[in-house]
Amino acid sequence: MSAGVPAELLAERRAAFQERIGEGIAIVPGARLQTRSNDVDYPFRQNSDLLYLCAWPQPEAIAVFSKDRFILFVQPRDPGAETWTGRRPGVEGACERYGADEAHPTAEFQERLPGLLGDVPRLFYSLGAEPRLDPIVREALREVRRHTRGGVRAPNEIVDPYGILHEMRLYKDPAELALMRRAAEISYEGHHEAARLCRSGNTEYEIEAVLDWVFRKRGSTGPAYPSIVGSGDNATILHYTENGDTLREGQLVLIDAGCEYEAYASDITRTYPVDGRFEGIARDVYEIVLRAQADAIEKAGPGVALTEIHDVATRTLVRGLIELGVLEGDAQELMEQENHTRFYMHRTSHWLGMDVHDVGEYHVEGKPRALEPGMVFTIEPGLYFGAEESKCAEKLRGIGVRIEDDLVVTEAGCDVISKNIPKRIDEVEAWMRS
């Protein structure tokens, strides 16, 4: 059982979900093992939807919900297999420890499904999300329809359950927020160790290794996504994860790394100067991004949409690009013409939760969604001048800066839960020495 979210809270979530599916039946599959090669698998990470509803930790599970029943299909106990891959709670454990009203081996899902779909008006199932299940579900529906003359009704609606579930996951409760704060604290420690290592001659991969080490040492499961440690031009590659180069004097190092704690992610970026001092044009670029982030954070709060926050950050970045001599003209016009996207090509924010790019709609009824208390998101402006960029001065080439924090929306505004990690120039420089 997860040490993270208490069992009573999981039961409350299930009850809320069950209430919303009404007379329907919902199928929520878990993750499967993915083969790395031959008989070796990639490390297993459970699907967040299943974790959210019941914390079941093992592969090949399928949860089925009706208004008043929670059925879990799981890998059964198997002493032979368990010797190789670990102990299983099994069918008994699913009921005793994970709150299932009923449990069966996953191998029985196919034969039991038609029996679950009879006289159910609505099936909540996400076609295509887990392709291995699609043919099983289709066949079960056909089977039920074959019996309609005998008086059994087949579902006449198929609805994606994630509309309900992801809406629930978008609003974090206090228990979840506590885990996310803990994730941010551990990431703080990781960033501190990493910042101290940003010295010429050290390598990107040893910094990555130190992040991993601190994350694990502090009880997290590890990075919530592959850590980005990009020095010099590598910082201009948005999802750089090779982390194979050596740090050199005069460079900046962009570190985008956050741990996952009890299935909740943090997502934090800082940009550090190699050898501990921001200098020259790199310092100017850094100040611009820092200002853009401060302006965006200032704007954020309940009732504000992520698009508005993005516009504020972008406006400051565009003004900065004018100051740097990269763009010429009126900031508003330049923004409208999207001239800046060559140097700022991503959005400023995304939802954060059990998944680093968490679930939840960004638009509601065609309009950008306003922030509400309990939502968690990032603010991460950046500027990137690639080594091969022709539309900027040579001295800017090979500079990439991003500054990213995690924010919880409160009644009054926003709480920046990663704010302890320094970002002001004097504070970063002092922190790297301490």
Of these residues, 350, 358, 389, 405, which one is catalytic?
Answer: 350
Q: Within a 10 A sphere around the Cβ of 360, how many other Cβ atoms?
A: 17
Of these residues, 389, 402, 405, 406, which one is catalytic?
Answer: 402
Report the nearest approach of Mn ion to the CB of residue 257 (Å).
Answer: 11
In the DSSP assignment, the letter for residue 305 is B
Let me know if 78 is a catalytic residue.
Answer: no
Let me know if 340 is a catalytic residue.
Answer: no
Let me know if 380 is a catalytic residue.
Answer: yes
44, 33 contact by CB (below 8 A)? yes
Let me know if 405 is a catalytic residue.
Answer: no
Tokens at 214, concatenated: 């601190």
**35-60 in b/e burial notation, b at 16+ Cβ within 10 A?**
eeeeeeeeeebbbbbbbbbbbbbbbb
For residue 152, the one-letter residue type is V
Let me know if 192 is a catalytic residue.
Answer: no
Q: Which residues, other chains included, contact 141 with Cβ-Cβ below 8 Å and sequence gap of 6+?
A: 117, 123, 154, 155
Let me know if 267 is a catalytic residue.
Answer: yes
Residue 18 engages Mn ion in binding (rule: CB under 5 A)? no
Residue 46, Ramachandran bin (φ over 0: left; ψ between -120 and 50: alpha; else beta): beta
**Piece in contact with Mn ion (CB under 5 A), picked from 77-85, 263-271, 277-285, 411-419:** 263-271
Of these residues, 112, 346, 347, 369, which one is catalytic?
Answer: 346
Let me know if 384 is a catalytic residue.
Answer: yes
Residue 378 engages Mn ion in binding (rule: CB under 5 A)? yes
Of these residues, 176, 185, 245, 267, which one is catalytic?
Answer: 267
**Piece in contact with Mn ion (CB under 5 A), picked from 225-233, 260-268, 321-329, 341-349:** 260-268
Rounded CA separation 89/364 (Å) = 40
Let me know if 264 is a catalytic residue.
Answer: no
3-state secondary structure of 259: strand
**Which of 130, 262, 267, 355: binder of Mn ion (CB under 5 A)?**
267
3-state secondary structure of 278: coil
> Closer CB to Mn ion, residue 140 or residue 401?
401
**204-227 in b/e burial notation, b at 16+ Cβ within 10 A?**
beebbbbbbebbeebebeebbbeb
> Closer CB to Mn ion, residue 251 or residue 378?
378
Let me know if 256 is a catalytic residue.
Answer: yes
Sheet holding 414-416, edge to edge: 376-379, 405-409, 414-416
**Piece in contact with Mn ion (CB under 5 A), picked from 114-122, 139-147, 230-238, 259-267:** 259-267
Report the nearest approach of Mn ion to the CB of residue 418 (Å).
Answer: 11
Report the nearest approach of Mn ion to the CB of residue 262 (Å).
Answer: 20
- Binding residues for Mn ion, rule CB under 5 A, total 2
Residue 271 engages Mn ion in binding (rule: CB under 5 A)? no
Report the nearest approach of Mn ion to the CB of residue 332 (Å).
Answer: 27
Sign of torsion, CA 297 163 261 32?
negative
Antiparallel, parallel or unpaired: β 122-124 and 25-29: parallel
Report the nearest approach of Mn ion to the CB of residue 223 (Å).
Answer: 13
> Closer CB to Mn ion, residue 204 or residue 267?
267
Let me know if 160 is a catalytic residue.
Answer: no
Report the nearest approach of Mn ion to the CB of residue 268 (Å).
Answer: 8
Of these residues, 49, 130, 256, 405, which one is catalytic?
Answer: 256
| Closest-CA residue to 376 (of 392, 397, 354) | 354
Report the nearest approach of Mn ion to the CB of residue 236 (Å).
Answer: 16
Rounded CA separation 352/334 (Å) = 30
> Closer CB to Mn ion, residue 130 or residue 208?
208
User: What are the catalytic residues?
Assistant: 39, 239, 256, 267, 346, 350, 357, 380, 384, 402, 404
- The footprint of Mn ion (CB under 5 A) covers 267, 378
